[in-house]
Chains A and B, each alone.
Chain A
């Protein structure tokens, strides 16, 4: 044993020297890699008002929506608000594995940001608009737990809310039927949430420097992050699902995360989401869509429920990702390191057999590659490192 130790030590030293040398080597990107990097921006992305919500972008609606978002009267016991699970101090998440409303919920509180860029809302895409999604927690018995009638009563009993409602919606809250009131306040809540946009990040500065061919500015981005970016758009296949300025396809994938909500009960994921979407009176094919052209309803008109939707969840945006732990639909991965390890050592048996996504395969990253990928992901948050 003693005789072997110096040999081992020498090997470790050599490995360390090799790592040090490779970590200092400039990263060069091929033309396809460069194109893929540019496609992850620019940021901020242009955002238009939501045509299905006539109050989208309306200053009064934003103000009312902001007040409602933080007001605990919008919950049955008067103790919770939207902000309980979507806390601005925690990047509009609650930092918990799975949220707890009036009971333990099945899923992690998804971060609220850049929502105008979404096609679907919630982990399962059960809503096709932000305002329809905003209705769900208000009336869900496990979350805020109100009925539409109780929402109307609470607004009517608070003079400031009643006045703001009448000013914005041009009718007294007591004159509108309860479902209309629910939709109206959801549209105000949506108008507020649309204003939550993440700031530029070190990655955005690097991406723009690549576009300008500005070597000096590119050099400010760490080598580790550059190597991680190279994995992200290359070997890792990450950008196949997390592409575009918002780092998401906006669609649904089975990422091999166990989907049992509890012993013996499966979270149906996208399969259940489509069923809920099509059954909802608030979807974009219904009477509450303000867009006369109904163009925003095209995805809902054509979406199809397939067997493979079991176990699929929405591909989340990676913007601000370092600030929105824990990860995956059930919050089962605590850190970005855990997420990278998950994809590196993916259990293919967890995927849905032959219907599973073939692009999702164990990455078998080296320790350095995994660290580099984490370093890159950390640069997708504002004021993060990477410089």
Chain B
């Protein structure tokens, strides 16, 4: 399985405050990193390209984010996406990943890796797509 790493920004400035659920964001957190994210379009569909907006925030927000990557795999199928997303930093701590696409029904595992404060932390979220 190939891991498709997408580097958004090395040596990025400090992270920022977490956007809210009202703004359409959900959170993923661990003791070492926290992000808020939302999809565009909000509802993911099989075979439809989408954008991920990711904001690093929360407990470690004062530490610089050196790198942030996003990937999606389908554990039951043993491999991931057929497409490599493109990453851009839109504001300090704000990242936009375009060109994501989940091409089969089933359970997908979206991973966001945050390299912050000398640690690389993996945050995961499962997406279930039905035909």
Contacts and interface: CB of A to CB of B under 8 A. Distances in A.
Nearest to A302: B99
Interface string A304-332: 10111000000000000000000000000
Given A243-B105, A308-B2, A299 B49 contact: yes
B84 A302 contact: yes
A304 B4 contact: yes
B102 to A, nearest CB: 10
Interface in B58-114: 76-79, 82-86, 98-99, 101, 103-106
B47 A357 contact: no
B118 interface: no
A301 B99 contact: yes
B42 interface: no
Given A243-B105, A302-B83, A355 B130 contact: no
A244 B131 CA distance: 7
Interface stretch (A65-73, A200-208, A247-255): A247-255
A2 interface: no
A356 B76 CA distance: 11
Contacts of B21: none
B46 interface: yes
B47 A307 contact: no
A357 B77 contact: yes
A303 B104 CA distance: 16
Contact of A298 (B2, B49, B84, B104): B49
B79 A239 contact: no
A114 B86 CA distance: 31
B104 A304 contact: no
A308 B84 CA distance: 15
The 8 closest A-B pairs by CB, nearest first: A302-B99, A39-B131, A302-B83, A358-B78, A304-B84, A243-B131, A251-B103, A359-B77
Interface of A: 35-36, 39-40, 119, 239-241, 243-244, 249-252, 298-299, 301-304, 306-308, 354-359
Given A241-B104, A358-B77, 7 more contacts: A35-B130, A36-B130, A239-B105, A239-B131, A244-B46, A355-B78, A357-B78
